Structure 1
Amino acid sequence: MFSPPRPSSRAEFRVAILCPLNLEAEVVKPLFDMTYSEVHHPELSRIRGDPNSYTLGKIGLYNVVLVYMASAGKATASAAAAYMKRSYPGIQLAFLIGICGGVPFIDKSLATRGKTDIHLGDVIISTGVVQYDLGRALPQGFVRKDTLEANLGRPSPEIRSFVAKMKAWHTSLGDRQSHYLAKIQQHVQAQCPGAQNDVVYSQNYDHKDQNCQCDLGLGLDQTVVARQRKSAVTPYVHFGLLASGDSVMMSGKVRDVIAKEHGVIGFEMEGAGVWDSFPCILVKAVSDYSDSHKNKEWQYFAAASAAACMRALLDEAPISLEG
């Protein structure tokens, strides 16, 4: 396999990985084949005035910059991307990876290979980003401002072609993802919490401060939407639109309204801040169902699933290997 030489300058890094949360960066680190110390290689270090922190190294075919964001959110992502562009002007592709909220049931027209259920731990690869909370606020959600300036652009032709290729090689991508997930799990406690802990509640059942079903354990009553999930969990890879907003989606009702209106299959908070700065692919894994029943039980496994999928994508040469 081709192995890139150690870069002699900051301009020779080609790929960036942005992680909004520390746990997301933690599960990426085992995937590095080699790291370059900024202490021992000051010529590779960030420029003066760049507040970002980085891990520099090699992953597979590319010299890579791992970006640690100060916090989650669109504004932070936008600032981190802008500073990274100044320090590492040779970046040609950015991966924004980590966790997201998922739409548990999607229309067949949006399904990847007919799979209309999204489960916790599943991965969503972006085919585009919808900035859903830019517009008028309504009781049931938001009306998106429909102007050229307000809407995010399409992915570049190169990214659209690459994503189309990955759709065609879906089985191979899933196999590679499973391989890298196992590698991550050798270094980080990121095991699957188990199918019994993957529960979808009715969109009409909001979290209660006391005696909520999501605190009391699993009882198949009117609040739980019955569906089956295999005990041996292999995260499925979905392709589709991600909704990006400034706040966490915490309503099953609003989730489903926006999902139906805009054709999105997941919700996250950073994509809109990076999308127009770099050629970008979002690789997000589902850690909750974008409703009010939030907990952190699935976050590490979901983050590891996303990182493993990103690593599998890098194996397929998303950008040219030539300088």
Structure 2
Amino acid sequence: MASQPRTRNDYRIGWVCALPKEQTAAIAMLDRRHADLPRLPNDHNTYTLGSIGNHNVVVACLPKGRIGTVSAAIVATQMIHAFPSIKFGLMIGIGGGIPPKVRLGDIVVGTPSGQYPGVVQWDLGKKEKDKFIRTGSSNNPPSLLLSAVTKLESDHELTGSRIPEYLDEMVSKYPRLAPKYLRSESLRDVLFKANYEHNESTPDYADVYSPENENEEDKEESCRNCDKTQVVKRKPRDMLVHYGLIASGNSVVKNATFREDLQQYFKGEVLCIEMEAAGLLDNFPCIVIRGICNYADSHKNKTWQEHAAALAAAYTKELLGYIQPSDVDKEQTAGDIITGVSSALSSIKQDTTYTRSDLDKTEDLKLLDRPTPTDYGSQQTDYFRDDNQGQGNGCLTLANIRTGYESQTRRCSVQGSPEPEKQF
């Protein structure tokens, strides 16, 4: 039952989910539910408030039917505005695992790996000479969270995890969750060879209407018609928690060949593929935790989703037990971090405006005073107008002006005075 309401400033941790089943698992892990607070104008999120241990937590989910990095960023931004004391976020849910290291029912925690931060955006880049050059990478998770992850990893090796305990508590409070959110015999970990595509042949009449399985969605996604000789043979093992790189993008990956290519591109560092994390990490200090529910191939289905979501949520609850509320209080708020980045960008723009007053080299001053057929003043005005409208993609600097001018000078010496053209 919900307790008396707190204020918006009482909440320090934001928990973001992409799917309702992920939100269900998150809410089920709360030790206490708090009363709702009135929604702020222009805030389209719906929040569940509660606490885990001594941490006050805000849970929010992407709107129904919305997926991807942009939707996640919008939810996180509105959450930070509504709860200004939030220090960091938790992006918790399900994802696709990269075999052979990762299996269904495992957990992947996004942590720095090699030259990469915890999350990379695989579909953000540029095309150069008929090659796609990836440029999307996100910030590292907060050091406070990474330190807690390190200690938890050691304790798992020494004494084991409390995840089974938290799952038992979940179904004790919410018995209706047991059939799907707990591990059952119906959850079978089957991995097909990467070069074998899913057989989408229509099941026969008896299969479709079998009384022991009336879930049409599961029937449509099953691999009953796939060639069992194409299954990769592996020895059974218990659930594992992996730490390393998560690849995030705006497209659903259901192709084993692409999965293998992606893994090769990142030199074998990728453990998981998902769709929202990259939208948060650039502006929202957070850690990404994924329960593995498929192999990002054509055989992927929804059978494992609820259990994988519960595993990720249970690990998150265990992780929060390794973080002291007093340490969280010392952290900079997420809003201040975003403001700091915005201020830095504004400062760059302001410094650019007054570039001439800061020049201390005579040749630079002479360069700016020399005549040119290009009206740079109007171009600078256009640039800042576009930048204020969110269209700018660079900074007007002395180097830009010098390069443009020297280019113009070379053309003038060969062709005479050219028509004005935009240089940057």
Instruction: Select the structure that is richer in strand.
Output: 1
Per-residue deviation, 1:208: 2.4
Contact 2:199 2:226 in 1 (8 A): no
Unaligned segments of structure 1, at least 5 residues? 39-43, 106-116
Per-residue deviation, 1:135: 2.4
- Paired residues in the alignment total 293
Rounded to whole Å, the distance in 2 between the matches of 1:136 and 1:206 is 30
Give the ranges of 4+ consecutive aligned residues of structure 1 lying more than 6 Å apart after TM superposition. Answer: none
**Is residue 11 of structure 2 the alignment partner of residue 13 of structure 1?**
yes
Rounded to whole Å, the distance in 1 between the matches of 2:320 and 2:17 is 16
Q: Deviations over 1:249-290 (max 9, x none)?
A: 111111112113211110000000111222211110100001
**Is residue 152 of structure 2 the alignment partner of residue 163 of structure 1?**
no
Per-residue deviation, 1:100: 0.2
Q: Deviations over 1:176-226 (max 9, x none)?
A: 1121122223321312243872110011011122179962278641x1111
1:98 is aligned to 93
2:322 is aligned to 316
2:258 is aligned to 254
* Cα distance change, pair 96–196 in 1 and its aligned pair in 2 (3 A): closer
Percent identity (aligned): 33
Per-residue deviation, 1:28: 1.9
**Is residue 233 of structure 2 the alignment partner of residue 226 of structure 1?**
yes
Residue correspondence of structure 1 range 14-53 to structure 2 within 5 A: 14-38=12-36, 44-53=37-46
Q: Secondary structure at the match of 1:72?
A: coil
TM-score (norm. length: structure 2): 0.64
TM-score (norm. length: structure 1): 0.83
Per-residue deviation, 1:66: 0.6
**Is residue 262 of structure 2 the alignment partner of residue 241 of structure 1?**
no
Q: Secondary structure at the match of 2:161?
A: helix
1:215 is aligned to 223
Q: Deviations over 1:54-77 (max 9, x none)?
A: 001111120110112113211110
Rounded to whole Å, the distance in 1 between the matches of 2:159 and 2:165 is 10
Residue correspondence of structure 1 range 131-210 to structure 2 within 5 A: 131-135=121-125, 143-146=132-135, 150-171=136-157, 174-186=160-172, 187=174, 188-189=177-178, 190-194=181-185, 197-210=188-201
Unaligned segments of structure 2, at least 5 residues? 112-117, 204-220, 331-424
Which region of structure 1 is more displaced relative to structure 2, 274-283 or 242-251? 274-283
Instruction: Select the structure that is richer in helix.
Output: 2
Two-structure CA RMSD over aligned residues (Å): 2.6
Which region of structure 1 is more displaced relative to structure 2, 68-77 or 159-168? 159-168
Which region of structure 1 is more displaced relative to structure 2, 156-165 or 44-53? 156-165
Per-residue deviation, 1:136: 5.3
Contact 2:87 2:328 in 1 (8 A): no
Per-residue deviation, 1:156: 3.1
Match of 1:55 among 48, 68, 72: 48
Task: Name the aligned partner's letter for residue 197 of structure 2.
Answer: D
Larger RCO: Structure 1 or Structure 2 (Cα < 8 Å, ≥ 6 residues apart)? 1
Which region of structure 1 is more displaced relative to structure 2, 117-126 or 158-167? 158-167
Task: Name the aligned partner's letter for residue 201 of structure 1.
Answer: F
2:339 is aligned to none
